[in-house]
Amino acid sequence: MLVLPDREAAEEAAAETPARFGLGDEPEVVREALAGEDDAEDAQWLVVIEDPERRLDPAELDAFAARYEGWVETEEAG
């Protein structure tokens, strides 16, 4: 999952990921309000990339997210 600062960055990143990383479909873009924040401006935008086989290079994803002033966050199973 890429965590990005605004909707525009998230939409641009999502549009670029299929060609860049060989994904079949464009990933979902989701808005997530920060915990405890009431202001609509205080939100993160997530680009949800499905990679159950873990074939994508985490360092390459991180560098890609950094281009959009974001970062990669992984969900640990368990």
pLDDT digits (tens, 9 = 90+) for 26-70: 999 999 876 655 555 568 999 999 888 889 999 999 999 999 999
Residue 21 has pLDDT above 80, yes or no: yes
What integer pLDDT is reported at residue 74 of this predicted model? 82
What integer pLDDT is reported at residue 77 of this predicted model? 46
How many angstroms separate the CA atoms of 31 and 47, rounded?
A: 9
- Model confidence at 76, pLDDT cuts 50, 70, 90, reads low
- Contacts from 27-36 at CB under 8 Å and sequence distance 24+? 31/7
How many angstroms separate the CA atoms of 64 and 47, rounded?
A: 12
Q: What is the mean pLDDT of residues 5-30?
A: 94
In 3D space, the residue among 31, 53, 29, 54 whose CA is nearest the CA of residue 43 turns out to be: 31
What integer pLDDT is reported at residue 35 of this predicted model? 60
